[in-house]
Structure 1
Amino acid sequence: MRALVISDTHGLLRPEILPLARTADVILHAGDVGRAEVLDDLRAVSPAPIHAVRGNVDRSPPLSSLPETVLVELGGVWVYVRHDLKTLDLLPTEAGIGVVVSGHTHAPRLEEREGVIFLNPGAVGPRRFRLPVACAWLHVGGGTVQVEPVVLER
């Protein structure tokens, strides 16, 4: 199973994301969607289920009704999505979570702590500072996870 992990679109769905979305089995959006049309446009090009959480800029309907967190099982692995990692409200190891996905900082980051993968795919919306425009793939199957970072622009 291939999960496309994106975050911080801030209302901009870059054309480079569309071919990736077409081949995804599932799409995870870690918040700061910015405009409902971003999710509509993803649905228009991809039959994959989309799981999106509310970010700090998603204050107006319909985005304000997005959940703060999503817990989804992918290929035998529990994946927990929350926009801001600083507001993590559980202990992933105790909850049986294999991957924690977050956004907010716009900086790609991948680390493993106590057997849990923490992934911030970076941001695919408007460029911030000198950070790359980036997302990631999660390759999940048989209870294992491989992360493939994707840099769209440096």
Structure 2
Amino acid sequence: MSVLVGIIADTHGIIRQKALEALKESDIIIHAGDIGKIDVINALETIAPVYAIKGNNDKGKWSNRYPETEGVEINGTRIYVLHDIKEMDLDPKREGFDIVIHGHSHMFSKRIYNDTLYINPGGSGRKRFNLPLTVALLHLFDGGEKEVQFIHL
């Protein structure tokens, strides 16, 4: 059995229909900050349970319910979520995290560093810096295998 994790970030208050379609099969959704409006989370929750953290642009009462970082365990895989990777305040490997999910740069990427998988789903809200709008899907398979797919919106 596998678990499909939808990953989204930097929506800045915009939830595109294409993003919802791309994430529609997700078992769980992670939002890596700069949500913009609670409406974004409400729309994502119609698909699956959502883990969300606040980004540097998330202000106001509605955003107080979201932490700045969060540790999540899904199907035996430990995931650390923060908005800006430059603000990483721990050693993921030492703390037992298998994956780090982050946003902020609006650039989709995946890389492995020190046996930890780092994923940035890219931005899916306002188009910025001539970068494509993207979300990511993370397939967590039994036995620990992981597969990341980026979807251009």
Q: Same fold (TM over 0.5)?
A: yes
1:64 offset after TM fit, Å? 3.0
1:9 offset after TM fit, Å? 0.2
Q: Quote the Cα distance in structure 2 between the aligned partners of 1:17 and 1:148.
A: 14
Alignment partner, residue 27 of structure 2: 25
Number of residue pairs aligned between Structure 1 and Structure 2: 150
1:63 offset after TM fit, Å? 1.2
Report the 3-state secondary structure (helix = DSSP H, G, I; strand = E; otherwise coil) of the residue aligned with 1:138.
strand
Deviations 1:34-93 (A, max 9, x none): 01111112223x1x2100000011111111331111111112210111001011111011
Alignment partner, residue 38 of structure 1: 40
Q: Quote the Cα distance in structure 2 between the aligned partners of 1:117 and 1:52.
A: 19
Measured on the aligned residues, the alpha-carbon RMSD in Å equals 1.0
- Provide structure 2 residue ranges, at least 5 long, that are not aligned to the other structure: none
The 10-residue stretch of structure 1 (62-71 or 124-133) with the greater mean CA deviation from structure 2:
62-71
Deviations 1:123-143 (A, max 9, x none): 000100210101111100222
Report the 3-state secondary structure (helix = DSSP H, G, I; strand = E; otherwise coil) of the residue aligned with 2:94.
helix
Q: Quote the Cα distance in structure 1 between the aligned partners of 2:72 and 2:20.
A: 23
Alignment partner, residue 145 of structure 2: 144
1:4 offset after TM fit, Å? 0.4
Deviations 1:6-27 (A, max 9, x none): 0000000001012233310000
Alignment partner, residue 132 of structure 1: 132
- Is residue 2:72 matched to residue 1:72? yes
1:98 offset after TM fit, Å? 0.8
- Provide structure 1 residue ranges, at least 5 long, that are not aligned to the other structure: none
Q: Quote the Cα distance in structure 2 between the aligned partners of 1:144 and 1:91.
A: 22
Alignment partner, residue 88 of structure 1: 88
Alignment partner, residue 119 of structure 1: 119
Q: Quote the Cα distance in structure 2 between the aligned partners of 1:11 and 1:100.
A: 23
Report the TM-score, using the length of structure 2 for normalisation: 0.94
